[in-house]
Amino acid sequence: MNPLTKFIFELQEISTLLWRIVRSLRNRPRYYRELLDQMDQIGVGSLAIIILTGFFTGGVLILQAYPTLQYYGAQSQAGRGVATTLVRELGPVLTALMVAGRVGSAISAELGSMVVSQQIDAMRALGTSPVRKLAAPRVFALILTLPLLTVAADIFGLFGGGIVANQIYGLDTGVYMTSVRMGVDIDDVLGGVMKPLVFGLIIGLISCYRGLNTSGGTVGVGKSTTSAVVLASISVIIADFFLSKILQTLFDTTLF
């Protein structure tokens, strides 16, 4: 199969998986307990690294931007720049990339191991749908928790930026807070929450697809995991570009 055919085939398979997951909402059994477990593992479990990511990203943005802004006498606008960048772009994308690495790899490794040890076949033989029981709760958990994690990253990013602005560059906290509020309006917040919804779907679908289609024993599990993380990460970055364009058109926003 040439790469293009392979790509189209995989796109078809992922779409079929998406359709089956959506259809699983219609009737029983619905696995609420599994959904809550996954939300705990994905959401609460990723919180620590997301907070760290956000905090240091906000800090480094101020670190780099402040001297340039100071040169033009615009240092009081530092908070505004950080807020806009974080809420619109860096918060959603970096959160999604961290989650793709942590959660995407865990999902594809777990499902892949179950495939090679025939646990998926056993599940089907016992009358349970692996899509309903395993894939759907993970995908929905990602869609629900990624926006929340993104907001956490944004908040701690702004906090980190404020610490750096105040402690290193001596910017007054009140000035920083005022400029932050100027940099974010409701359209930015909406867009910054809509992006994670799409990213969660992408990460969940790709990880589950790769995991459930593992072949070739333990080597296959490693390959599935790697390709799930790489594919999910690249897809997030590409999707971010198109989503940004759509949101710009939708909300008719410019940077300043």
Partner 1 sequence: MIFENPENELPYDNGNEVSFAGKTDDSNRIVPAIEFNDVSLAFDDQVVLDAISFRVRRGETKIILGGSGTGKSTIINLVLGLIKPDSGQILVDGDDITGYDEIEMMRVRKKIGMVFQEGALFDSLSVYDNVAYRLHEESVDEDEVEHEVRRMLHFVNLEDAIDKMPAELSGGMRRRVGIARALVGNPSIVLFDEPTAGLDPPTARTICELAIKLRDLEDVSSIFVTHEMNNLEYLSSEYAIVDENGQVLFELEGEKLCLINTEVIMLREGKIAFSGKDEQLRATKDPYIYHFIRGT
| Residue 128 touching partner 1 (CB under 8 A) | yes
C-alpha triplet 7, 13, 16: angle, nearest 5° = 140
- Of the pair 124, 245, the CB lying nearest partner 1 is at 124
Residues 18-57 that bind partner 1 (CB under 8 A): 29
Token pair of 166 as six digits: 């105040």
| Residue 16 touching partner 1 (CB under 8 A) | no
Of the candidate residues 12, 15, 16, 118, the single one contacting partner 1 (CB under 8 A): 118
Token pair of 26 as six digits: 């219609």
The burial class, CB within 10 Å (0-12 / 13-18 / 19+), for 135 is buried
Q: Are 31 and 136 in contact (CB under 8 A)?
A: yes
- Of the pair 45, 159, the CB lying nearest partner 1 is at 45
CB of 122 to partner 1, least distance (A): 4
CA distances from 217 to 59, 112, 115, 172 (A): 44, 9, 9, 59
- Cα 165 from Cα 97, distance rounded (Å): 26
Of the candidate residues 25, 36, 44, 122, the single one contacting partner 1 (CB under 8 A): 122
Of the candidate residues 6, 124, 181, 245, the single one contacting partner 1 (CB under 8 A): 124
| Residue 121 touching partner 1 (CB under 8 A) | yes
Nearest to 185 by CA among 255, 249, 92: 255
Stretch that binds partner 1, among 50-58, 60-68, 125-133, 153-161 (CB under 8 A): 125-133
Of the candidate residues 4, 126, 186, 255, the single one contacting partner 1 (CB under 8 A): 126
CB of 84 to partner 1, least distance (A): 44
List the x/- string, 77-116, binding to partner 1 by CB under 8 A: ----------------------------------------
Size of the site for partner 1 (CB under 8 A): 13
One-letter amino acid at 170 equals: G
How many other CB atoms are found less than 10 A from the CB of residue 14? 18
CB of 4 to partner 1, least distance (A): 20
- Which residues neighbour 147 within 8 Å (Cβ) at sequence distance 6 or greater? 193, 196, 197, 200
Of the candidate residues 129, 226, 248, 253, the single one contacting partner 1 (CB under 8 A): 129
Say how many residues make up the chain.
256
Q: How far apart are the first and last CA of the chain?
A: 48
Of the candidate residues 41, 70, 76, 119, the single one contacting partner 1 (CB under 8 A): 119
- Of the pair 126, 255, the CB lying nearest partner 1 is at 126
How many Å is the Cα radius of gyration of the chain?
21
| Residue 186 touching partner 1 (CB under 8 A) | no
CB of 111 to partner 1, least distance (A): 12
Which stretches of the chain bind partner 1, using CB under 8 A?
A: 29, 117-119, 121-129
